Amino acid sequence: MAATASPAPAPAPSPSPSHRRSLRKRRTIIVTAAATAAGIGAGILVLNANAASTTATVDLYHQTLAAKDGWASSGTGTTGGAKADAAHTFTVSTRAQLVKALGSTSDTTPRIVKIKGPIDANTDDSGEKVSCAEYSSGTGYSLAAYLKAFAPSAYGTSKLPSGTQEKARAAAQAKQGKNIIFRVPANTTVVGVPGTKAGITGGMLQIQSVDNVIVRNLTFAATQDCFPQWDPTDGDSGNWNSQYDAVTLRGATHVWADHNTFTDAPGLDTSDPAYYGRQYQIHDGDLDITKGSDLVTVERNQFTNHDKTMLIGSSDTDSVGKLRVSIHHNVWKGIVQRAPLARIGQIHIYNNFYDTTNLNGYVLQYSVNSRAKAQVVAEDNYWKIPASQKVGKLFSGDGTGSIAGGGNLVNGTATDLVAAYNAANSKKLKTTVNWTPTLKAGLETSAKNLPTELATTTGAGVLS
């Protein structure tokens, strides 16, 4: 299914049940054959009946993105595997089962993959744990040898590592990647079974060059690279850089990420050693949207205990006319940076709650960064900050990016975050953008209640 590139996208043509909360105020009806034919899929359709005495049942597996709910509702909308037949509906609880259920990325047959319980990606086909040492076995890599080979005092600081140990490191990293990367085909819904603590530990969902994918109700924990690369040219003092985001979008279109939890726990950054005076960083992104990805809605997720959280655009030369992303009703807590870092695209950030209190050693650098001519609209978000936190550090930029919008609150007080940033920095954020958001169903024009509301309506395990 091709992505639309229309500058004025239309909402999804087929009706779909709202995923808005207040679940206790809904009633259910069985989907009729006509509704099924419309693309909703078999199951239960939730209608808002404003009936406080009833309890709703939601068919998470066939649910589709509501009309006008962010960029992913544009054009053909996002339906994932809603039309999957019984032969393409799977329940999995191991890494091997997940790989088999996802199948080939060349197979675009609609499918639903239900994850039951937590899946450890660092296991073999029989379910036995695979260690970092086992991934490096046979490659010739050892951390001690690597550190000796590329010590700045001997190797220098002007070029990337190369030679025997770097090749061995890359080979070991590739062995781990073969085990922990799960490639998602088009027209797929990957969803956690309620009440099972469903999720993926130590793995990465890769959504690459495909259209129409839904990911929801899952906990992504401790995605770790056993073999980070040393880059002496990164920054003033060099840095260790890792692979593997918990969820990565590369050239993907029409993706809806809903009610997921992302965390480094239990492998927090504070437990990592330092080499060459820099943290041995084994974590990359939580949810990165790059390589010309487009038409994405990220909503009601929790991002916590993480450094480089969400990257939109892999470089300053990523795809112009794409990278259109809506980010709303998410919680960001214990996040260092990239919430998000946005390049080039048209990004709508609304009704999010940012708690920038230091958490488990994760100390804020900034929340939102707009660079490479990104066109960001940030409105009606809420920041909770400690007394020591400077408001001017909540936004960031390179002097070319824009952030428009208003209604943002800091500790309950309306605050012009762009003005605060610009007052403290020479590279100013621009205050106008070249577009007006129209796909904003559910936008709350006051952020006042977001800390309380989102505490119980976001993240994995809320849906049932």
**Residue of 76, 312, 9 lying closest to 211 (CA atoms):** 76
Which two three-digit tokens encode residue 12?
Answer: 């999804």
Told to judge if 371 belongs to the known catalytic residues of this protein, a careful annotator would answer no
**Interior/surface letters 401-413, b for 16+ CB within 10 angstroms, e for the rest:** bbbbbebbbbeee
Instruction: Count the Cβ atoms, other than its own, within 10 Å of residue 231.
Output: 17
Instruction: State the catalytic residue, choosing from 111, 300, 324, 338.
Output: 338
Helical (H) or strand (E) element with 306? strand 302-308
* Chain mean position to CA 333: 14
The two structure tokens encoding residue 78? 């996002």
User: CA–CA separation, 251 vs 109, rounded Å?
Assistant: 19
| Torsion angle, alpha carbons of 149, 151, 155, 161, to 10 | 60
**In this structure, what DSSP letter does residue 77 have?**
-
Q: Which residue in 350, 384, 302, 351 sits closest to 450, CA to CA?
A: 351
Strand partners, 214: 189, 256
Q: Which H or E run contains 331?
A: strand 331-337
Name which of 225, 231, 310 is nearest 269 in CA terms. 225
Residues designated catalytic: 338
